[in-house]
Chains A and B, each alone.
Chain A
Amino acid sequence: MNTMETSTIKMEDYISAISRLFVLSSNKRHQIRDLKINFSDNIGKLALGINNEIYKKINIDIFRSKLIAEILLYERELDCLFSNYSSANIIEDKELEDELFLLKSYIKVEKTYFSDNNLSINDKFKKDLKQKISVSAPTIFAAAKNPDYLHRIEDSDYGDNFFASAVERNVILIYHLAINRENNKLVDIQNVLTFNISKYRNMISNPTRLFLNVLDDYGIDITINNETRRFFKYVKILKENARGDLSLINAENVGKDNFSMQANFMTTEYGAIVKYAYGINSTIYMRE
């Protein structure tokens, strides 16, 4: 761990300082002419401090070093500093594994994939539809049948799920859909969220990334088995004799009427299993 006191430094400044050192070392490694990186302003001074830390640790000063092997060692040290900083200050103790599962597992599918399927809206979500979605139900169905981008995630534990994005006028619709467990010709719309196009314009082409960003901005922290995350995938409830229902999930700090939860449970002979769970903070979502 670095000895520099990073807790009082603004995150953006620390990352920018690391960035300048990365650019300098990379330029040196590729023997690119000096691009006049600024080391005299506050961020530059912070970068000099980080360079000093690294020098104390591995005896390499990037301003003097010329050997490729040394520069690579230096970059490795920068990489460690950044990873440590990211774990301590950005994600803290949050587990990202389930979110990364979504990103790493999706496959792009033809947007006409659902044209032959019957779409239905998840019963629990139907109740909320009128008050929370600014787009009409026919538009929601039409855009779901022919979205602009469609991703499929198939997993024996998580199930067969889809994320889709569509643009209607100036509104982005982001869908979470799943194949119906009883009838695989039926696709259930689990959730639809709408946003002004300006909010997520550069993510429309990647509905899985878009979904995760929506959770970053509007999701709630949920706790299952004493672990808190924004998204859970396939977790066995440790409580004995637990049945699959929403009471197993503790949504903290939002109040019980201020969120909508999407979760899929399965009760097996071994106990309750949450196939997936996430929640949206309705108060913030509706306000925006």
Chain B
Amino acid sequence: MKSKKLIYYSINSYLAFWINENFYNNHFVWCAPVFDPSVLNEYDQNRKIPPSSAPAKIYKRYLEDVEGGDLHSAKIIENKTGLKKGAIINFESGNISEIELARINKIIDSALINEFRPLIYIIPSSMVKTKLKLVDVELTANPLSMEYQVPELNTNEFDIIEL
């Protein structure tokens, strides 16, 4: 039986949250309809979500890197470049000024390891049903995987927890 998902989960660093809150007034997130696909039964299609997109795995990887003090880990570098890409896109669309682009860049470059600690966004589907976008991935990626983006998530549309 196919059940309707009530909650979407998204993992983001504290730094990402902070920058979005302070400069863009909204959040761009990737999310998944389950937190940990590995605990689902083998017939559940969400079990096919690859580990690289599974919120529980992403959370664990961030946490390991932060606790291990590894500022040069792949996950943290990926996060930094993602944040810079976001800043550039916001500059191009006129949301931030040139000097704010430089401020954000400086904030990212000088961030301490603890600022990359992961946060879990709990997003009720009812709040984002018109914004939720299914990502069109290459067939080679994982044809059964379902990954979503919410391009303009407002702060009042989700809750945050840290484990």
Residues of A within 8 A of B (CB): 11-12, 15-16, 18-19, 22-23, 26, 29-33, 69, 72, 75-76, 78-79, 82-83, 86, 90-91, 96, 99-100, 103-104, 202, 205-206, 209, 212-213, 216
Contacts and interface: CB of A to CB of B under 8 A. Distances in A.
B88 A18 contact: yes
Nearest to B75: A72
5 contacts: A19-B85, A31-B141, A79-B80, A86-B101, A103-B107
Interface of B: 22-23, 25, 74, 77-78, 80-82, 84-85, 88-89, 91-92, 95, 97-103, 105-107, 109-110, 135-138, 140-141, 147
A91 B97 contact: no
A78 B82 CA distance: 11
Contact of A82 (B84, B97, B98): B84
B68 to A, nearest CB: 18
Given A22-B81, A23-B85, 14 more contacts: A12-B92, A15-B88, A16-B92, A19-B89, A22-B85, A26-B81, A26-B85, A32-B136, A33-B137, A90-B101, A96-B106, A103-B103, A103-B107, A104-B107
* Minimum-distance CB pairs A-B, first 3: A31-B141, A22-B85, A75-B81
**A interface majority secondary structure:** helix
Contacts of A75: 77-78, 81
B70 to A, nearest CB: 14
A26 B78 CA distance: 9
A212 B100 CA distance: 9
Contacts of A22: 81, 84-85, 88
A84 to B, nearest CB: 10
A99 B103 CA distance: 9
B111 to A, nearest CB: 10
A100 B137 contact: no
The interface centre, meaning the residue of B77, B103, B109, B135 with most chain A CB atoms within 10 A of its CB, is B103
Nearest to B99: A216
A50 to B, nearest CB: 13
Contacts of B95: 202
A32 B77 CA distance: 20
Given A19-B88, A26-B85, A31-B138, A205 B97 contact: no
B85 A90 contact: no
Nearest to A22: B85
B135 to A, nearest CB: 6
A82 B101 CA distance: 11
